[in-house]
Amino acid sequence: MRRSALFAVPLVLLAAGALALAATGGDRADAVDPAAANARTAQSPSVHYDVTVTLTERKQPLTLHISGGSSGDALSVRLRLDEQKMKHGATVPAANTAVRVLAPFVYERAPHGLSRVLGKVRWLRLSTDGLSSRSQIMSALRTLTPSPLYRVVAEAKLRAAGADGTFAGPVAYDDPVVVTALNRLTGGLQFRSLRVRVQVGRDGLVHRVRIDGRTADGTSTLRLRARLYGFGRPVEVVPPKPGTFVDRGLQQLQT
């Protein structure tokens, strides 16, 4: 299994207020439309989240943790790749980094080992002015937000799976929207038998997302777990201090 560079969050969350559910006499799951709940969640002016993606190949797991907050023009996210033990006994150490977006700048922190070599310079800064929303950098930033999850949930065939606002169902692995949404999160691997499970809170918003799948040959599995919270809460981004970052050309970053 190869490691992939997983970078970024969406800068396109629309401003909209969350709609509370009215009390009903029947099961709450029956009264909730998961598609509408997913759309409202995607339109929240801000969201905080913890996402864990585990790719397991022949019983060897590789786990990425994404934790942060995203709003229309700000992003603060931490990434951690767990230590990985190889078959031949070697160990790939854990890696940590962070990304901060305060328009029009993106700051990416150097991995821990490299930052010790660089001294005071710990961050790389670039400007997103003039970049297309389809550029590699903007696409990578969206991957660090819940945006890909909203897109997958929107394509899933969900049915009530409990009275606590839980819904579950399959989603087509070869749906172009699903393929694009999961590509960076899965390192380019394609997983089949995809199952989606969501939990809608009493505020009418999606609070938890689960996505599970496996490769066609059954040797690799996908396990994604996400918790969404703090809807509408401000996302505070503190830019690195002067002298702790350097600017790089966009062309250099895209290589």
Which of 71-85, 119-133, 145-159 is predicted least confidently?
Answer: 119-133
Q: How many whole angstroms separate alpha carbon 255 and alpha carbon 252?
A: 6
Q: Which amino acid is at 146?
A: P
Q: Contact at 8 Å (CB) between 211 and 191?
A: no
pTM recorded for the entire structure: 0.80
Report pLDDT for 223: 98
The structural domains of the chain, with segments of one domain joined by +, span 28-253
Work out the average pLDDT over 7-34.
41
- Percentage, residues of the chain above pLDDT 90: 59
H-type alpha helices, 5-65 = 28-31, 34-42
Spatial neighbors of 43 by CB under 8 A, at least 6 apart, are 13, 14, 15, 16
Backbone φ, ψ for residue 212 (5° rounding):
-130, 145
Arithmetic mean of pLDDT over the chain: 83
Residue-wise pLDDT tens digits, 71-94: 988 999 999 998 877 666 667 777
Q: Is the pLDDT at 11 greater than 50, yes or no? A: no
Q: Which amino acid is at 198?
A: V
Report pLDDT for 29: 53
Class of CATH domain 28-253: mainly beta
Q: Which amino acid is at 133?
A: S
Q: Contact at 8 Å (CB) between 222 and 191?
A: yes
pLDDT category of residue 112 using cuts at 50, 70 and 90: low
H-type alpha helices, the chain = 28-31, 34-42, 112-118, 136-142, 147-155, 176-182, 250-253
